[in-house]
Amino acid sequence: MKKKILAILLVIAIVFLSVACKEDKEENVLLPPEEDEHITFKTTSLVYQNGGSTNYSIGGVDSLFTFSKDMLSINDNGEVRTHEISYEEIPLTIEEFNKQFNGRDEIPDISSYKNILQYNLCTATKDLPGYRLYILDGQYWIGTLYKNIYGGLFL
């Protein structure tokens, strides 16, 4: 009888610890950085490209995106661009995500992600692109926008 109770308590403890570890993992968001902190990501693949965009206009794979509290620096093959940013957090559903894309192109499927977060970093102007950041279960996606239409989305 004591062995059964001990076994039940052990199972409960394991379940509790695994849930606690999973919750800690979901909380591990690196952005926005603290004051005087810089975080750099290197894009590894193109998730989406608008049919009217070129690789030149949206940047390329292997670009470096360096985030600070109020600046975004993009190093694309030696060409460095800097933008003032803020981390405007936007509640995001799959439907809202899909509405952000041009209906003619295939939209990336994010339905398998449990934790979806969007930051509007800076708004596009007549001459400069805007940027959005998506955090999807710990993956960071960078979106390049021209006139509020996606040019590309990088992982």
pLDDT digits over 89-141, tens only? 988 999 998 888 766 678 899 999 999 999 999 888 777 888 889 999 989 99
Cβ–Cβ under 8 Å, residues 38 and 68: yes
Buried/exposed 122-144: b ≥16 CB within 10 Å, e otherwise: bbbeeeebbbbbbbbeeebbbbb
Is the per-residue pLDDT at 57 higher than 60? no
Residue-level pLDDT at 52:
64
Q: How far apart are CA 61 and CA 54, in angstroms?
A: 13
pLDDT digits (tens, 9 = 90+) for 129-140: 888 899 999 899
Q: Is 0.75 surpassed by the pTM of this model?
A: no
Amino acid, res. 98:
N
Average pLDDT for residues 57-85, to the nearest whole number?
Answer: 86
Average pLDDT for residues 37-56, to the nearest whole number?
Answer: 78
Cβ–Cβ under 8 Å, residues 46 and 152: yes
